[in-house]
Every structure is written in C-alpha cells, then in structure tokens.
Amino acid sequence: MKNTLIASAIVAAVVALVVGFVLPRQTAQTVQNLGSLVGPDIPSPYLRWGGVAVYNAAASLKQGSTTPCALQSPNATSTLEAGGINFTVASSTAITVVAAQSATAFATTTLINSKSITGQGMLIAASTTLSSLEQTNRIFAPNTWLVFSETGGITAGDAGTGFVPKGRCQAVWVAYPTL
C-alpha cells in the first residue's frame, strides 16, 4: 500500500509537470498608448500646454479672385500673433494687399494692415513696432476670419490675364485660458 501511494504521488507530480509545460501560460500584457508621432508633421491645427493654445492655419491662394485667401480663427477669443501672404509669382504691376478681419470669408471689414507690394509677400507679426491699428485689430472673436484681399493686379474672374496670384497664406493665433 505504501508503494502504491508513493507511485501515485510520483505519477501525479510527473503529470503536473507535463501539463505545466504543455499548456500555454496566461501572461498579463500591458498596452500603453503614448500618443507619439511617426514623423515631424503634427496633424492637429493646434498645440496646448499650460492652458495656452497656439493655433496654426495655412492655405494656397485662390486664383481669379480679389480675395485670394481667408483663414478662420479658432473657436475661442484669440490674438493674431503672426499672419502673412506669400506670392510665389512675381509681378511688375504693383498691387495693394489688405489684411483684415471679418465675420465671413472673403469680405474685409476691420482693417489690420494695407501694403503696396510688387511680387513679394506681406507679413503681419506681433512686435512693438506694429501700428496702433495693427495692435488693436489683432484680437479675434471666435470663428472670425483673417482675410487677405488685393487690388490693382487682377479683377474678379480674371483668371487668365493680369496678376494671377500663386503662393500661400498663413496665420498663428494664441488663445489664452479664461480665468
């Protein structure tokens, strides 16, 4: 009887070892999503840290229009930190570029800046050298528009002749948290 009990214990131990090695073990797997990016491009139009959000917008110029660019401000009261339009097609004809804000796209109601240029870009940047008009009109209500219009080079619908704008426009707004 004693031998049978020892033999049964040895068989049970061998079976337990075999089953332990043969059957797959369940292991805990931790999946952590870090939110990292694969390359240098950030698909979001804004970055937020410390409660301050920086919004960016850019677009290609619309041809055959006296308002070749309109960019919508963020859904928050924000300050235009920089805005500009760059013409990549040179023109010997001077044009007047107007930067303004408006409640709708492709209308210029609140003047920010106006400049006569010949084939180069126009930039509005935050600095202490801005005119009082530029300093005052850089505050944007939620979802309003930064509109660049031009006169002197083309007329509306004149896509085949005159100065047909090519290039890009861009803007950077900062939205500060409400206290």
Each residue's pLDDT tens digit, 69-107:
999 999 999 999 888 888 776 566 677 888 899 999 978
| Domain ranges across the chain | 52-175
3-state secondary structure of 85: strand
141: phi then psi, degrees, rounded to nearest 5:
-70, 160
Res. 160: pLDDT tops 70: no
Selected residue with higher pLDDT from 97 and 154:
97
> 70: closest CA among 98, 35, 105, 97?
105
Type of residue numbered 33: N
Each residue's pLDDT tens digit, 108-153:
788 888 887 776 666 665 554 556 556 668 889 999 999 988 877 6
Q: Are 138 and 163 in contact (CB under 8 A)?
A: no
**How far is it, in rounded angstroms, from Cα 33 to Cα 55?**
25
Q: What CATH class does 52-175 carry?
A: mainly beta
Type of residue numbered 140: F
**How far is it, in rounded angstroms, from Cα 29 to Cα 52?**
36
Each residue's pLDDT tens digit, 4-56:
766 666 766 666 656 566 666 666 677 677 667 777 888 888 898 888 999 99
